[in-house]
Chains A and B, each alone.
Chain A
Amino acid sequence: MATDYDVEFVEREDREARFLVRGVTPAFANGIRRAMVADVPTMAVDTVRFIENSSVMFDEQIALRLGLVPLTTPPEGEFVEDDTVTLSIDVQGPATAYSGDLVSSDDLVQPADENVPIIQLKDDQRLEAEADAIMNHGKNHAKHQGGVAVGYRHLQRVEVVGDLDEFEEQESQIVRGVVEDDGELVPTSEFDHDLANRYPGKEVRLEDVPEAFVFHVETDGSFTVDELVTRAADSIIDRATELEDAVQL
């Protein structure tokens, strides 16, 4: 009983995208959002073994910083939950240890951003450590969240109802997100989020388009937005199948 959803991209980049989905209920839209935040597993450092740390920060502080560095996620099926990859770091001061100094034991799992400063080291200070990264879900720890600032808004339709009186002062009408105007999708940033700029001297009305949602999705670099959304959808399918199997008589 697969239904096709009408999906249209408004903006599309690797790490940030905005797309319109039609024909979904508010509950389902929220289901996708929650799956993107909590149910898509990503890799993150979970335990760190310190061989030497003479920096100004405590081991625990540095371990926490390493945990927050986003790591690229291997393709689906390559890893299962709780599989580990070891990354090692060895920096001798005076220098700054960056996330890019992490050397991974697996080419598929690399720091997604290479310029995150971990710790600044002075003369004779040294950081040598091994970090184990595991695959886990966002619901267990925020460091495993692949989606950042994932949200959606109702698609709103703009309708020109009439003209304003000749000497009437136009009030600004602020909208954020994406509006539908004559079947065309317009991001509100095009007219500085104010409908008065787009329709000077007109009286406009806005109404929600039923069952149409504009998602705004950003990722931390663990994977592309496409990947995040497909994996989120897959995780919903998996859970639905699991439920179906569980209640079957």
Chain B
Amino acid sequence: MMVPVRCFTCGNVVGEHWEEFNARADEGDEDPQEVLDELGVDRYCCRRMLVSHTDLVDVVSPYQ
């Protein structure tokens, strides 16, 4: 639903990079790999947190 605050595996805080990553790589046309490198998300455990995430708040919010 919302981005995980931390990486499940190593505990690094990844949530703070989500909005920039989403704007630049998912909605923008930049290469996700380069964006992650620039954000300083180095380990593959943390990278998969952002790469594989989808925001679901908009999907569930009609069913209140």
The answer on direct contact between A and B (beta carbons under 8 Å) is yes
User: Chain B nearest CB: distance from A109 CB in Å?
Assistant: 16
B16 lies within 8 A of A116 (CB) = yes
Give A126 to B27 CA distance when docked, in angstroms.
27
Q: Which of A65, A145, A218 contacts B5 (CB 8 A)?
A: A65
Chain A contacts for B57, CB-based, 8 A: 56, 119-120, 122
A148 lies within 8 A of B64 (CB) = no
The answer to the question of A115 belonging to the interface, with a C-beta cut-off of 8 Å to chain B, is yes
Chain B contacts for A118, CB-based, 8 A: 2
User: Chain A nearest CB: distance from B22 CB in Å?
Assistant: 10
CB nearest neighbor in A for B57: A120
Chain A contacts for B51, CB-based, 8 A: none
Q: Contacts A116-B16, A117-B15, A120-B57 hold; do A57 and B10 have CB atoms under 8 A apart?
A: no
Chain B contacts for A186, CB-based, 8 A: none
The answer to the question of B37 belonging to the interface, with a C-beta cut-off of 8 Å to chain A, is no
Chain B contacts for A54, CB-based, 8 A: 64
Chain A contacts for B10, CB-based, 8 A: 148-149
Give A220 to B11 CA distance when docked, in angstroms.
8
Place the interface of chain B in its size category. Answer: 10 to 19
A220 lies within 8 A of B12 (CB) = yes
A117 lies within 8 A of B13 (CB) = no
Chain A contacts for B19, CB-based, 8 A: 115, 117
Chain A contacts for B16, CB-based, 8 A: 99, 113-116
B5 lies within 8 A of A116 (CB) = yes
Within 8 A of A (CB), among B8-64: 10-13, 15-16, 18-19, 43, 55, 57, 60-61, 64
A221 lies within 8 A of B13 (CB) = yes
- Number of residues on chain A facing chain B (CB within 8 A): 26
Central interface residue in A54, A99, A120, by most chain B CB within 10 Å: A120
Give A227 to B3 CA distance when docked, in angstroms.
29
Chain A contacts for B12, CB-based, 8 A: 148-149, 218, 220
B11 lies within 8 A of A57 (CB) = no
Chain B contacts for A115, CB-based, 8 A: 15-16, 19
Q: Contacts A116-B13, A117-B15 hold; do A69 and B61 have CB atoms under 8 A apart?
A: no
The answer to the question of A70 belonging to the interface, with a C-beta cut-off of 8 Å to chain B, is yes
Chain B contacts for A99, CB-based, 8 A: 15-16
The answer to the question of A174 belonging to the interface, with a C-beta cut-off of 8 Å to chain B, is no
User: Chain B nearest CB: distance from A133 CB in Å?
Assistant: 15
B1 lies within 8 A of A145 (CB) = no
A69 lies within 8 A of B2 (CB) = no
A68 lies within 8 A of B5 (CB) = yes
CB nearest neighbor in A for B59: A56
User: Chain B nearest CB: distance from A223 CB in Å?
Assistant: 14
Give A118 to B2 CA distance when docked, in angstroms.
7
User: Chain A nearest CB: distance from B49 CB in Å?
Assistant: 12
B contacts, CB < 8 Å to A: 1-3, 5-6, 10-13, 15-16, 18-19, 43, 55, 57, 60-61, 64
